[in-house]
Amino acid sequence: MLRIGLRHRLAGDLQTEPFKGALWHGVFGACLHDLAPGAFDALMRAEVQQRRWALRPPLQLDGWIPAGAALDSELLLIGDAAAHAPACVAAADEMGRRGFGPSRVPAPLEAVWGVDAAGRPVPLSGAEAPVTALDVYEQARELTVAPAATSAELELRLLSPLRLKAGNELLRELPDYRLLVRRSVARLVMNLPEGDVGLFAPGEHAALMEAAAAVPLVAHRVDGVQWLRRSARQRRVMPFEGLLGTLVFGPGAAAAYPWLALAEWWQLGGKTTFGLGVVEARLRPVITALGASDAVGAPTLAPAAERGARADTAVAPSSPR
């Protein structure tokens, strides 16, 4: 896996939708198509069934961002997709020249870096990047062997909308721990040449899922969000929705923590190439202090023109459902 950090610096004020995933996906795709058609075909053409990359867009949920602000994003390239890293960086550079938002605000590419297995920035050409899924897993597993880990809570922050399905239906309720772990395992299996052959010892996967099913959700502050994006390919406006906020799982979560640490890399759920499913997971002492309700709120990521210029109205809460 090759994780590339990118920093663009705004040359003017940017007014756009609060969630930047569709914007970044669209501009990146257009630039990659024009500069490196081969890389575009490998990563983004409609016929590609398995997307071996993910996008972490700027996470500011602001409808207005001032000139001079830094916009940090990341690309994750998995397996043979890493060979297209030079083309992706060139496309990111071109993105800054073409500009963002309806006014095409320029934002020169200021910095590019790699990320090591511990999540630290490193030179993109350094020996620390790329890394393997095993590297990340082992780094996280070291934290689970400490005595305090057995009683620790796991905090999972949903930094961009999480779009999960249960069966064939979009999940609009709070996800349980087993579902989150299962989705992260499935993402790895999907990208292994031989699937799950040899990945688990006999009975290990079943034991992992059984243990995850017993982990309680002890606190949360989660809202449902809805927004619209325009699909250039389908030439229509499409509704999107997902979950944003924080979930806290109780003691017992540490055993599967390495799988959620991996999810920090390849993200969770659907539409990860549009920046959905960005998460951060950490073990912490028991300090549960979030909301006690089981309801999921339903705010809307409204168009910028309806919200006004400032970010404090970017997510408008509505009644829990």
pLDDT higher than 70, residue 172: yes
Backbone angles phi, psi at 79, to 5 degrees: 60, -130
Q: What is the pLDDT of residue 257?
A: 94
Same domain for 185 and 118 = no
Q: Assess contact for 181 and 137: CB atoms under 8 A.
A: no
pLDDT greater at residue 289 or residue 53: 53
Same domain for 177 and 109 = no
User: What are the structure tokens assigned to 126, written together?
Assistant: 């350094």
Q: What is the pLDDT of residue 127?
A: 55
pLDDT higher than 70, residue 159: yes
pLDDT higher than 80, residue 315: no
The predicted-structure confidence for 103-127, as pLDDT tens digits, reads as follows 999 999 999 999 988 888 998 876 5
pLDDT greater at residue 259 or residue 228: 259
Same domain for 99 and 158 = no
For the chain, what is the domain count?
Answer: 2
Residue whose entry in the numeric block shows the structure tokens 């087993």: 178
pLDDT greater at residue 81 or residue 230: 81
Whole-number Å distance between alpha carbons of 300 and 96: 29
Angle at 13 between CA 19 and CA 65, to 5 degrees: 40
Q: What is the pLDDT of residue 30?
A: 96
Per residue in 134-145, is it b (16+ CB within 10 Å) or e — as a string?
eebbebbeebbe
Q: What is the pLDDT of residue 141?
A: 87
Same domain for 242 and 96 = no
What are the DSSP calls for 148-195, one per residue? GGGG-EEEEEEEEEE--EETTEE--SPPPHHHHHHHHHHHHHHHSTTT
User: What are the structure tokens assigned to 169, written together?
Assistant: 């239906």
Lowest mean pLDDT across 7-11, 129-133, 182-186, 291-295: 291-295
- Range 276-303 average pLDDT: 68
Looking at the domain assignment, is residue 320 inside a domain? no
Same domain for 162 and 83 = no
> Residue 8 is part of which domain span?
2-122
pLDDT greater at residue 313 or residue 262: 262
- What separation, in Å, do the N-terminal and C-terminal C-alpha atoms of the chain show? 39
Lowest mean pLDDT across 1-10, 198-207, 274-283: 198-207
The predicted-structure confidence for 55-89, as pLDDT tens digits, reads as follows 999 998 888 999 999 999 999 999 899 999 999 99
**Sign of CA pseudo-dihedral 288, 136, 267, 59:** positive
Same domain for 110 and 145 = no
Q: What is the pLDDT of residue 106?
A: 97
Strand locations in the chain (E): 2-9, 14-15, 53-56, 64-65, 70-77, 109-115, 121-122, 153-162, 165-166, 169-170, 217-231, 236-249, 279-284
Whole-number Å distance between alpha carbons of 65 and 145: 43
Q: What is the pLDDT of residue 42?
A: 93
- Range 34-50 average pLDDT: 87
The predicted-structure confidence for 235-284, as pLDDT tens digits, reads as follows 777 778 899 999 999 989 999 999 999 999 999 999 999 999 999 999 99
- Range 50-56 average pLDDT: 90
Same domain for 105 and 143 = no
- Range 126-147 average pLDDT: 80
Q: How confident is the model at residue 321 (pLDDT cuts 50, 70, 90)?
A: very low
Q: Assess contact for 27 and 100: CB atoms under 8 A.
A: yes
pLDDT higher than 90, residue 99: yes
Q: What is the pLDDT of residue 306?
A: 39
Closest Cα partner for 52 from 37, 42, 61? 42
Q: Which distant-in-sequence residues (6+ apart) come within 8 Å of 137 by Cβ?
A: 258, 259, 261, 262
Whichever domain contains 69, its CATH number is 3.30.70.1890
Q: What is the pLDDT of residue 314?
A: 33
Same domain for 199 and 157 = yes
Same domain for 53 and 13 = yes
Q: Assess contact for 108 and 68: CB atoms under 8 A.
A: no
Same domain for 197 and 299 = yes
Same domain for 287 and 171 = yes
Name the average pLDDT for the chain: 85
Q: What is the pLDDT of residue 228?
A: 74
Q: What is the pLDDT of residue 156?
A: 97
Whole-number Å distance between alpha carbons of 259 and 255: 9
